[in-house]
Amino acid sequence: MHFALVGLNHRTAPVEVRETLAFGPETLLRHLEALSTRPLLREAAILCTCNRTEVYAVTSDPEQTVTELSLFLEEAAAGKKPSRRLSESFYRYRDLQVAQHLFQVAAGIDSMLVGEPQILGQVRDSYDNALKAGTAGAFLSQLMRRGIEVGKRVRSETGIGEGAASISYAAVELSRKIFGELHGKKVLLVGAGEMAELAAKTLASHGARTVFVANRTYDRAVQLAQGFDGVAVRFSEIQGYLGRADIVISSTAAPHPIIDRKMVREAMHARKGRPLFLIDIAVPRDVEPAVHRLEGVYLYNIDDLKSVVAANIEQRSKELGNVESIVAEELSKFAAWMREQETAPVIAAFRRRAEEVRERELLRTLRRLKGLSEDEVRRLEAMTRAIVNKILHSPTAGLRESAHIGNGRMHLDAVARLFGIEALEELVPPRGPEGVSGSGGRPGPDAGREKGGGSR
Amino acid sequence: MNQVQSIFLAVAALGFLTSSGLYAMYFRGQKNDFGFWATVFASGSLVVLTLSLVAGAIELGQLPIGAVSWTVVFFLWVAVCVYLYVENRWRIKVVGSFFLPAVTAGLFLALWLPSRREPLAPILQSPWVAVHVSSMFLGYGTFLLASLSGILYLVQEKEIKSRRLTFMHFRLPSLETLDTLSARLVSWGVLLLGAGLVTGSIWASKVWGSPWSWDPKQTWSLFTWGFYVLFLMMRYGRGWKGRKSAYLTVLGFAAVVFNVLGVTLFMTALHRFS
């Protein structure tokens, strides 16, 4: 049994290529069903996010399957745009490489934004979809469950997902550290700008309630307020709203500060000790820096937020080593499991063969020995069984053990030859050449990775 | 303190030490497993500490507050009860990372403090003593936690003001949580200390013949209580929140400490523990 994977991600393909393979939920299920009809594929799952599309498969022939999956993906995209570049963007993995890749994806270190939290849920969804489509069996389930487990471990045991990695999330996290829950907190948006709007939207999606929108031109404020389901405010009324809003995001094109110390001091008087968080994303700055020295007032400008984000990202990258070691640990557990899956059919086959011999010989002997009592027959039967078990005991144990060492395959071959099991190739097909093919493959960690079940 | 009590006490102290370690690891990595076991160990140690107190109470025939060490142990017991309640209610284990080490240090100190049991003065043999001392200590325990919450507020506030966020910023709860927590605790503390003062007066009127005698201990207790009442008035009436409020909770607890230790040690008072 082997694993195969073909896919592309944000590193191997630009968005105009990725979007040709962005499947909606229904398309995805249809594709899974189509995959399940292919004779080579035993199990399959599709992981599809805005940054990646990957097909995971369980197969008896990984080489053939990788080719087949590439063709499948090209066909899937064909309707949208015939692209020669598509297959150049694919990475192709086999066996343990598949597990390593999935583990890295689930851990969030293959994401565009390292440590982002959504990917784990997306991996879970792809497994659920495969279950729903009936394309997930024992092997794929083991792979997916281990992958999800890696994602969970990484998030609870390392700080890879800690600290906001974007300006708007940094604003949300800071707000949370000041106000606790954001539910019912009011946001005042002064001026419009892409980043300010994004920050306000992010705050709103985390529970912040009313959005007041002020703008130089009132009509524009009204227009913006509609987008936020908020209230338009005249520019001259800002002073009053400083007392009512908890979070102020300012990004006007004004050449001079529009919120000064005096305004904020008066507003703080009305706030009765409730803190005020000012986010000044404008350049030149909208808020007088001296405001920050007032009690209960927290002013962050664009550079402050950027340095918070930079520090967080640095902190995350420090955790990469810990994440890699969890991935490596889980991968070696998974490798052991895979090798056990290899030895299991051989053990079963050669035990079956011994059992056949035993039964045949026992029958032959019993036919010749007439007049044995029932008890004597039972004793003979028990004796032959004991002989077989005792002889097979150490080769069985040896084989089980060989699953955990490098040259296990050699042992398998030897046992097969010694016991005359000829169909070993059928039981355990040989591995294809290992290594990354396709132009889009990731360099680095793949090269020095541990080999799968042993050498050929 | 007899042998059984000392053994229970030592076991409890070791349990709290383990719990402190777990709380520290929880603080470092914010892993829920550590947090869970930290609370389990703290609760288990509290049970053992209770056994130690019960053994002491059986021997003395009343609340074991005769010797200094027992007084400290009883206070710590009350404080841990208050803490575990707050942790469960507010879901903030982070405070425990600071609180449990303090409790552990206190317990080891108690093991070392003189524990000679002196014959109980007849005036201490009244159920009013138990109620009075318990509610005073509950009040002190809540004030201790309030000031701890206040200190953590100041640390977090400094982090956010500095705009250079460190580890502490990410681990500590929000300003709002810490601020509200310490104010709530002060409200409870004022009620408990008030109850302690009233029951103390009832008792005093029985043994001294007058409910109030301007004894230094009484005066300081009333002063402390008045301070906290004023604090609540300023906070809810005039919006003294945030940093001001945090500083006041710390100052208030300093008054409590002086009341418990200073007055007992430096002033001659009618009101003595032993």
What is the per-residue pLDDT across A85-124, written as a single tens digit (0 to 9) for each? 788 889 999 989 999 999 999 999 998 888 888 899 999 9
pLDDT band, very low/low/confident/very high, at A415 (cuts 50, 70, 90): confident
A243 in helix, strand or coil? helix
Instruction: Kindly state whether A289 is in contact with chain B, defined as any CB-CB distance less than 8 angstroms.
Output: no
Contact B243 A296 (CB under 8 A): yes
Query: If we measure between CA atoms, which residue out of B196, B202, B217 comes closest to residue B273?
Result: B217
The DSSP secondary-structure symbol of A169 reads: H
**Percent share of chain A, pLDDT over 90:** 37
| Alpha carbon distance A111, B245 (integer Å) | 44
The dihedral sign for the CA sequence B237, B243, B245, B247: negative
- The continuous run of DSSP H or E covering A4 comes out as strand A2-9
| Alpha carbon distance B159, A299 (integer Å) | 13
A270 and A136 Cβ atoms separated by less than 8 Å: no
Contact B161 A176 (CB under 8 A): no
Q: Which one of B33, B163, B164 makes the best mutation probe of the A interface by having the most chain A beta carbons within 10 Å?
A: B163
Phi and psi for A329 in degrees, rounded to 5?
-60, -45
| Alpha carbon distance A119, A108 (integer Å) | 7
Per-residue pLDDT reduced to its tens digit, A398-414: 877 776 666 666 777 77
Which of B31, B180, B243 is facing A156, going by the closest CB pair?
B31
The dihedral sign for the CA sequence A437, A441, A443, A447: negative
Instruction: Kindly state whether A155 is in contact with chain B, defined as any CB-CB distance less than 8 angstroms.
Output: no
DSSP alpha helices (H): ranges in A48-192?
Answer: 62-78, 85-88, 96-107, 118-133, 138-157, 167-179
Instruction: Give exposure, A90-129, as e/b (b: 16+ Cβ within 10 Å).
Output: bbbbbbbbbbbbbbbbbbbbbbebbbbeebbebbbebbeb
Q: Which segment, A61-65, A423-427, B62-66, B215-219, is predicted with the most confidence on average?
A: A61-65
Average pLDDT over residues A122-136: 91
**Whole-number pLDDT of residue A423:** 55
Per-residue pLDDT reduced to its tens digit, B144-203: 999 999 999 999 999 999 998 888 898 899 999 999 999 999 999 999 999 999 998 888
pLDDT band, very low/low/confident/very high, at A449 (cuts 50, 70, 90): very low
Instruction: Kindly state whether B173 is in contact with chain A, defined as any CB-CB distance less than 8 angstroms.
Output: yes
Task: Show residues of chain A in contact with B156, CB under 8 Å.
Answer: 177
Per-residue pLDDT reduced to its tens digit, A47-63: 998 889 999 999 988 89
Average pLDDT over residues A295-305: 93
CA geometry: angle at A119 spanning A113 and A122, to 5°?
150
- The continuous run of DSSP H or E covering A42 comes out as strand A41-49
The arrangement of strands across the sheet holding A297-301 comes to A231-234, A211-215, A187-190, A247-250, A276-280, A297-301
A440 and A53 Cβ atoms separated by less than 8 Å: no
Contact A272 B32 (CB under 8 A): no
A456 in helix, strand or coil? coil
Q: Looking at the complex, report in whole angstroms how far the Cα of residue B161 sits from the nearest Cα belonging to chain A.
A: 6
Angle between helices A320-368 and A302-318 (to 10 degrees): 30
Phi and psi for A3 in degrees, rounded to 5?
-105, 145
| DSSP-assigned beta bridge partners for residue A300 | A279
**Looking at the predicted structure, is the pLDDT value of residue A441 above 50?**
no
DSSP alpha helices (H): ranges in A185-217?
Answer: 194-205
B141 and B75 Cβ atoms separated by less than 8 Å: yes
Stretch 126-165 of chain B: residues touching chain A, C-beta under 8 Å? 156, 160-161, 163-165
Stretch 298-317 of chain A: residues touching chain B, C-beta under 8 Å? 298, 300, 304, 307-308, 311
Q: Which one of A162, A174, A177 makes the best mutation probe of the B interface by having the most chain B beta carbons within 10 Å?
A: A177
B71 and B65 Cβ atoms separated by less than 8 Å: yes
Task: Show residues of chain A in contact with B169, CB under 8 Å.
Answer: 177
Angle between helices A374-402 and A320-368 (to 10 degrees): 150
**Looking at the predicted structure, is the pLDDT value of residue A453 above 70?**
no
| Alpha carbon distance B71, B59 (integer Å) | 15
Q: A231: exposed, middle or buried (C-beta count within 10 Å: 0-12, 13-18, 19+)? A: middle
Task: Show residues of chain A in contact with B239, CB under 8 Å.
Answer: 271-274
**Whole-number pLDDT of residue A19:** 82
Report cis status (omega within 30 of 0) of the bond before B173.
no
Q: Looking at the complex, report in whole angstroms how far the Cα of residue A187 sits from the nearest Cα belonging to chain B.
A: 17
Residue with tokens 């998974």: A334
Contact A273 B29 (CB under 8 A): no
**Looking at the predicted structure, is the pLDDT value of residue B37 above 80?**
yes
Contact A295 B244 (CB under 8 A): yes
**Whole-number pLDDT of residue A144:** 94
Give me the count of residues in chain A: 456
B261 or A308, which is more confident: A308
**Percent share of chain B, pLDDT over 90:** 51
Instruction: Give exposure, B131-158, as e/b (b: 16+ Cβ within 10 Å).
Output: bbbbbbbbbbbbbbbbbbbbbbbbbbbe
**Whole-number pLDDT of residue A382:** 93
Instruction: Kindly state whether B177 is in contact with chain A, defined as any CB-CB distance less than 8 angstroms.
Output: yes
Query: If we measure between CA atoms, which residue out of A171, A152, A160, A112 comes closest to residue A313?
Result: A160
CA geometry: angle at A438 spanning A435 and A443, to 5°?
55
How many other C-beta atoms lie within 10 A of the C-beta of residue A407?
11
**Whole-number pLDDT of residue A432:** 40
**Looking at the predicted structure, is the pLDDT value of residue B87 above 90?**
yes
Contact A180 B241 (CB under 8 A): no
CA A118 to chain CA mean position, Å:
8
Stretch 17-76 of chain B: residues touching chain A, C-beta under 8 Å? 29, 31-32
Closest chain A residue by Cα to residue B178: A180
**Looking at the predicted structure, is the pLDDT value of residue B271 above 70?**
no
Q: Supply the residues of A annotated as catalytic.
A: 50
Per-residue pLDDT reduced to its tens digit, A229-286: 889 999 888 999 999 999 999 998 888 899 999 999 999 988 888 999 999 998 889 9
| DSSP-assigned beta bridge partners for residue A54 | A7, A47
**Whole-number pLDDT of residue A438:** 37
Angle between helices A138-157 and A118-133 (to 10 degrees): 160
Query: If we measure between CA atoms, which residue out of B199, B266, B186 comes closest to residue B227?
Result: B186
3-state secondary structure chain B: CCHHHHHHHHHHHHHHHHHHHHHHHHHHHCCHHHHHHHHHHHHHHHHHHHHHHHHHHHHHCCCCCCCHHHHHHHHHHHHHHHHHHHHHHHCCHHHHHHHHHHHHHHHHHHHHCCCCCCCCCHHHCCHHHHHHHHHHHHHHHHHHHHHHHHHHHHHHHHHHHHCCCCHHHHHCCCHHHHHHHHHHHHHHHHHHHHHHHHHHHHHHHHHCCCCCCCCHHHHHHHHHHHHHHHHHHHHHHHCCCHHHHHHHHHHHHHHHHHHHHHHHHHCCCCCCCC
